[in-house]
């Protein structure tokens, strides 16, 4: 019946649940108390009996790796508020370009303007920024499209723009960052938990 319904056997279903639990324990936030218990279980156990964690480590050592990614429960505290102002144009491409030109004319000359872009080409992903205010162009290679996507490149480009502004805060009190990725803007407005 398990074969016909393509269900795991009880043994493999139980093993799968154990491995998901072990992985979840190892990837919790770095300050989570479970890491101290795992550290003790990894040590030379002087106890006369084996603990549950020691048993897991004995049977599944490949899942108790020291450099596993830690997934934070939240990226920002619940009370966090974005200090920047964001806006997404709901207009079509031509009208959005006109609105952009109009906004550019309203930006004071003493403000920094930065354009961002993330893109893929030939199986590779990269991020770039350009500032017409100070005539600077910067690029960064992100990786191949097997491990990265354009969305990550767009967010990397936004981080590059913020870093450039932080380097120039003595000269410019405000920055205007223009990006063409609505998902990236929405993620900045309301960051969510890591995907893992």
What digits encode the pLDDT tens for the residues 129-169?
A: 999 999 999 999 988 888 888 988 999 999 999 999 999 99
Q: What residues does each domain of the chain span? A: 2-63, 93-189
pLDDT score at 193: 63
Q: Six-digit token pair at 58?
A: 């004995």
| 175 Cβ contact list (under 8 Å, min separation 6) | 111, 112, 113, 114, 161, 162, 165
pTM: 0.63
Q: Six-digit token pair at 37?
A: 């218990």
pLDDT band per the 50, 70, 90 thresholds, residue 185: confident
CATH architecture label of 93-189: 2-Layer Sandwich (3.30)
pLDDT band per the 50, 70, 90 thresholds, residue 91: confident
């Amino acid at each position: 019946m398990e074969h016909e319904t393509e269900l795991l056997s009880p043994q493999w279903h139980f093993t799968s649940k154990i491995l998901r639990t072990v992985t979840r324990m190892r990837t919790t936030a770095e300050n989570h108390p479970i890491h101290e218990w795992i550290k003790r279980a990894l040590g030379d156990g002087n106890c006369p009996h084996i603990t549950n964690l020691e048993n897991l480590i004995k049977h599944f050592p490949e899942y108790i790796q020291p450099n596993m990614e830690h997934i934070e429960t939240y990226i920002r505290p619940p009370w966090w508020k974005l200090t920047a102002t964001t806006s997404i144009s709901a207009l079509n491409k031509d009208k959005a370009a006109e609105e952009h030109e109009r906004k550019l004319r309203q930006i004071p000359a003493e403000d920094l303007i930065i354009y961002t872009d993330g893109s893929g080409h030939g199986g590779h992903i990269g991020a770039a920024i350009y500032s017409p205010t100070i005539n600077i162009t910067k690029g960064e290679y992100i990786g191949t499209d097997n491990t990265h996507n354009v969305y990550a490149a767009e967010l990397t480009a936004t981080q590059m723009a913020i870093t450039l502004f932080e380097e120039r805060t003595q000269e410019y009190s405000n920055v205007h960052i223009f990006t063409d990725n609505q998902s990236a803007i929405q993620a900045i407005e309301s960051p969510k938990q890591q995907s893992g």
